[in-house]
Structure 1
């Protein structure tokens, strides 16, 4: 089994790359962001820890689940609160991801682990190789404003809370530039990346 850690800044196209790899090549993809949701579902130890630290206002009154938007508004305005959140959620998520990789090993030669905070969270030790998607900050800000219906100030705040592209890319063997909305051009880059990847030693994809 060979695990590719797919990371990148916010709105840099990670999910699009993962989706193309899954749909066109049938590669198993694990979305760490979705696994983080599992980590703090109602009734889990992480759920209880988050409520204890951040209060009941982060709970959706109807579903009783933790409301991501409410939690996001708290942590993106305070570095200290972000650190508290990460110290609770990251270890729990890593355990879930690790089990998912282990359970998938039997049926999959190659696995993609998509994780925006792969480097920051220290999940790179779960991977054999790192890929990073990258887009110019101005493009990412516009995408984020449109996707999340944020003001430019709010989008900038979220961008600044993440690791700069330059620092993230130091850990990556493969860097995929994604400044345009051209799927064909992006797929061409992905194919080129596969040919340059050590994963080819495990599985002939192209």
Structure 2
């Protein structure tokens, strides 16, 4: 088994890269951000811990589920609040991801673990190699404004809450640049990268 940790800044194209690897090469794909949704579910220990720390205003009064958007408004306005959230959510999510990887520990497979906060959360120790997608900050801001219907100020605040490209790239074995919204150009980089190592190629 060989695990590629795929990360990158907001709107840098990491999900597109993961999708290409899965759909065109059949590589198993774990979306850590989706796995993180499980720790927010009603009835889990983290659900009650989040309510205790951030209050009942993060709860939908009808469904009783945690509203991610309401929680996001709280944490993106305060570094201290983000730290509190991360200390609750990151360890719980890592355990879910670790168990899924372990299920394939005896298989001769290549796994892509996509995680926006792979480096920050310390999940890189689950991986054999780190890939990073990056794009120009101004391009990422424009994409984020369009995707999430945010103002430029809101988008910049979210961008500034994460690692810079330079900090993230220090951990990378492979860096994939995604500025031009050209899927063929992106696929060329992905295909070249996946065959870069004989070790990975042997698993395909």
Q: What interval of TM-score do these two structures reach, taking the shorter chain for normalisation?
A: over 0.9
Moved over 3 A (4+): 104-108
3-state SS of 1:104 partner: coil
Q: Specify the alignment match of 1:89 in structure 2.
A: 89
Alpha-carbon RMSD: 1.2
Task: Give the superposition deviation at 1:39.
Answer: 1.4
Kept in 2: contact 1:76–1:161 (CA 8 A): yes
| d(CA) in 2 for partners of 1:44, 1:197 | 40
**How many residues align structurally?**
204
| d(CA) in 1 for partners of 2:70, 2:104 | 33
Q: Specify the alignment match of 1:154 in structure 2.
A: 154
Q: Specify the alignment match of 2:70 in structure 1.
A: 70
Kept in 2: contact 1:110–1:199 (CA 8 A): no
Kept in 1: contact 2:194–2:201 (CA 8 A): no
Q: Specify the alignment match of 2:11 in structure 1.
A: 11
Kept in 2: contact 1:35–1:97 (CA 8 A): yes
Kept in 2: contact 1:28–1:108 (CA 8 A): no
Q: Specify the alignment match of 1:192 in structure 2.
A: 192
Task: Give the superposition deviation at 1:135.
Answer: 0.3
Unaligned runs of 5+ in 1: none
Task: Give the superposition deviation at 1:107.
Answer: 4.9
Q: Specify the alignment match of 1:180 in structure 2.
A: 180
**Deviations, residues 145-172 of structure 1 (Å, cap 9, x unaligned):** 0000000000000000000000100000
Q: Specify the alignment match of 2:138 in structure 1.
A: 138
Kept in 1: contact 2:194–2:200 (CA 8 A): yes
| d(CA) in 1 for partners of 2:100, 2:124 | 15
